[in-house]
Amino acid sequence: MLLTSPKNYSTNNKINHSEYQFSYTIFNTTCMSLIKDNKTYYPALDGLRGVAILFVLLYHNFNFTDRFFFGWLGVDLFFVLSGFLITSILLNTRRDPRFFRNFYARRALRIFPLYFLILVIFLVIFPAVNFYQDNMEYYNEHQLWFWIYIQNWLLSFHTPPRTNNVLTHLWSLAVEEQFYVIWPLAIYFLRKIKWQFIFMLVFLISVITARAILWSSHIPDLNYTAFYTFTRVDGIAIGSLIALMQEMDPTFIRKNLGAIVATLAGLNFLFYFLNVPYGILPYLALCGYTTFAIIFGLLINEIVTGNNKFLNVILSNRPLIFLGKISYGLYVFHWPVFAMLSPLISGNLQKNQGLPGMVSLTIAGAITTLIALLLSTLSYYTFEKKFLSLKERFR
C-alpha cells in the first residue's frame, strides 16, 4: 500500500545535512521536521508508516495466534497516513499550472512499477513456465480486474478459495488508486479549503450511510466488511480531513480534543447499547473502521503540530524510518512470500524435524518475514529508486 511523503528532495540522493535545518518552530518540538525548499518533511510520519507495516506483518505472517489480532489496523493506519500526506501535497501544489500532470506522473512512478512487476511475475511469467499454477486459477481467470485496479470489487462479490489468496492483499492498492482519481479533481475545482472540507465530510457521511443501507439490504455474497471500497475508504477520507483542518486552523483539533474524544466515545457506546438487543450489527463495518481511523488521524495531528515531543522522538528512530521507507515493497512482497513458502517450511519442520505445530509456524513466519524484508530492501534500492529519481522531472 503506497504512501507518498511530501519530501522535496531526490529520493536517490543522500541527505546532505548542510542543506537541512532542524525546525524548532513555535511548538519547540525536538525532531519534529526538516525544512528544505520551504516544504516540510516529518520523520515521525515515516516512523509511523514503519509501525503500520509491522502491524500488517504480525497480523499476516503470525496469523496462527490471536495475540496479533490488532494487526489489521495497520492497513487503516496506512490509509489515514496516505490521505493526510497526499492531500498535503495536493494543497501545496494546487496552483501549479501542471497540477494534474505532475501529481499523476509522480504517483504513477511511485506505484505502478512495483505493482505491475508483481502482476507480470504471477500472471505472465509463472504461467509461461508452468510454475505455481495450481493455486493461480482464480487470478488467471479474473486478471483484468487486477490490471486496471478494480480488484477490490471483484473480491467483494467473488471471494477466492482459501488456497488462492496469494494476491488478495492488493485490494488496498485498488481502493487508494480509485480514491486518487477523484480527489485531485475536487481539490482543483473546489478552490476554497472550506468547500474542500465540506466535500470530504459529505463524502465520509455518505459512505457510512451507504454501508448501513447495504447491510440492511442483505445483498447475497457481498463481502462488505473487508474489501468493499465504501468500507475501508474512511481512513483516507479522515486523513484528508486532518490535512484540510491543518490548512484551515492548525489549533482547532488541539483546542477541541476533549470534545472530539468524548463525542467519539459516546457514539461508540450508543452503537453498543443499540446493538445489545440484537447482537447482529457489524461493528467494524458500520462504526469500528471509522473510529480507529479518527484515532489515527488525531495521532497524526499530534505529530505534525508538535504537541507531543515523546511521540516524535520515539517514531523518529532509524529502524522505524527505514521500515517506513521500504514499506510499499514490504507490503507488496510479504504476503505472496508467506502464502507460498510458509506451508512448505512449517510442514517440513513438523514432518522431518518433529517440531510442534506452533513452533514450526513461528519459525516459518520469522523466515518468510526475513525473506520479505530482504526482497523489499533489494527492490527499493535496485528497482524502485530508479523510478523515484524520475519524479524530480514532475515537480
Q: What is the pLDDT of residue 236?
A: 96
Contact by Cβ (8 Å): 391, 102: no
Side-chain-side CA neighbours of 206 within 13 Å: the count stands at 8
pLDDT 10s digits, 263-286: 888 888 877 777 666 556 677 777
pLDDT 10s digits, 135-186: 788 999 999 999 999 999 888 888 888 778 899 999 999 999 999 999 999 9
* Helix (H) or strand (E) run with residue 21 in it: strand 21-22
Q: What is the pLDDT of residue 307?
A: 74
User: 162: which strand partners?
Assistant: none
Residue from 300, 281, 324 nearest 83 by CA:
300
Q: How far apart are CA 179 and CA 147, in angstroms?
A: 17
Domain extents in the chain = 17-394
Contact by Cβ (8 Å): 164, 135: yes
DSSP structure class, residue 7 = -
Q: What is the pLDDT of residue 133?
A: 82
Q: What is the pLDDT of residue 36?
A: 43
User: Which regions in the chain score pLDDT beneath 70?
Assistant: 1-40, 223-230, 275-281
C-alpha cell at 321: 524510518
Q: How far apart are CA 323 and CA 345, in angstroms?
A: 25
